[in-house]
Amino acid sequence: MKKGQKKAVHFAHYKSTCNLFTEGETVAHLKGKKLLAKWEEELGYSVQPEAYLSDLKQRPDVLVKRQGRNDLALEYQCAPITPKRLVERSNGYRSIGLNFFGFWGRNIS
């Protein structure tokens, strides 16, 4: 437990292996990401959920490693997002040589 003077008393992880990137995600989003990863694994590809792409400072929901072909960034978007931000993300993936495919819900602004 942390009892700082600037933040409210809270619990913090100490050298934990839990996934810190699922905080605030809906059940639908988590299930969607898991399903995408499962499908790609069943096709024989290696997957990395929430792989950090330092060049872009962002994480695709699932990064698919495809030997002999460009890797693939998959996004399962459930939260509101503007068309402008969607284009920025997809262009970012393509700028570093990733193919990109997104699954979008009803919440695109």
Q: Which pLDDT value is given to residue 43?
A: 94
Q: Are strands 99-104 and 72-77 parallel, antiparallel or unpaired?
A: parallel
The pLDDT value recorded for residue 77 is 85
CA atoms within 13 A on the CB side of 62: 26
Tens digit of pLDDT at every position of the chain (109 positions): 566 666 666 655 554 444 445 556 788 888 889 999 999 999 999 999 999 999 999 999 999 998 878 899 999 988 888 889 889 999 999 999 999 998 876 655 5
Amino acid at position 27, single letter: V
> What does pTM read for this prediction?
0.72
Bridge partners of 72, per DSSP, are 64, 99
